[in-house]
Amino acid sequence: MTMLDYIKEQGMLFRQALADRDGLTKAFTRLYSDGRPEHIVLVASGTSYNACLAAAPFMERILDVDVSVKASSRHGGYRGRTLVMYVSQGGNSTNTIKAIEEDAAPLSIAVTGNKDGRVNEICAERLEIPCGMETVGPKTKGYTMTILLLQLCALEAACATGRIDMDGYGEWLRILGSVAGRIDDNVTESERWVERNLDLLKGMKTLYVVGRGVDQAVACEGALKVLETFLIPASSWEFEEFLHGPSCSISSTTSAFYLPPMGCADDAARMARLAAYNRKHCPATFSIGGGDGRDAGLVLSGNVYMTPYEYIIPLQVASAIVPGELGIQGEGSKRFKELDSLLAVKCRQEPVT
């Protein structure tokens, strides 16, 4: 399996998860209904952390409780009735394991794609991310399916506790279903976008990924994918914060990917002007939905909570294809393994006998 293979599985996995939503979320719905938490805290690292950032605003809206995200290395300090969700696709992140052991949170659940992961051994309650393992290093389908699982948990628990009625529940399922039907087409369009812009993408020296609101979370994951695969400096920025200083560093070597905000025409127009300015200095400047060949022409839902499933795809596909063209395919994973052997980023599991 390659990184692109996993990306192309996302549409199929998304549709399967929607069909299996009751079984996938049952443990969370029971825990939430019985505990009636005042707060939900999502604890994670890396791509799992970015997925939590993308899912949290939807969960907060649907459940009408505070939902916050903490890096595994900055866990703890919970007050009141708090439900802690420890998210780790591989289930063996040492800092997440340490967080579970040190917190001993009375209301907690592990969220993992690896049934044999260490986090499942030390959490009484478990949810399965319906994507399985990814052996290539950088995570793609795990990002998408973690967001979806968390969103479905919120929907099912909100329905079970009367927070939303059946009409509202059905409408959100309709929206998610429409997204599921577009993922495959958006992967294909992203491959075309990469082909059109291959020389520009190969020449990138550094990258800014800029988004607003929920899209800032997408920007975090997009920058991480580029860091892991292109092996160049990449950073994510909230749109307004980028304008207050970092934008001054735009130069001939600062590529950018701009994620236009949904539902706000004024901010979308402002971001388009910024992208045009960036392109005057660095041709390798990209966006979504514009009329320029450097823009990815995705089919979009128009819903702000759905952009994590849409805006991330071009950056995932570029990260899967371009490093091979540069002759560095898999180099990031090799470096990670070297660092893991020195710093124990992942725990070692003894073979099952």
Written as six digits, the tokens of 16 are 């399967």
Q: Would you say the pTM of this structure is higher than 0.85?
A: yes
Domain covering 184-335, topology: Rossmann fold (3.40.50)
Domain covering 3-164, topology: Rossmann fold (3.40.50)
pLDDT tens string 343-353: 766 655 543 32
Residue 99 scores a pLDDT above 90: no
pLDDT at 351: 35
Average pLDDT score over residue span 222-231: 97
Same topology between domain 3-164 and domain 184-335? yes
pLDDT tens string 152-161: 999 999 999 9
The residue extents of the domains of the chain are 3-164, 184-335
CB of 141 within 8 A of CB of 134? yes
Q: In what order do the strands lie in the sheet with 234-238?
A: 234-238, 206-211, 254-258, 285-288, 295-296
Strand partners, 128: 112
Of residues 141, 168, 144, 145, the one with CA closest to residue 156: 168
pLDDT at 334: 81
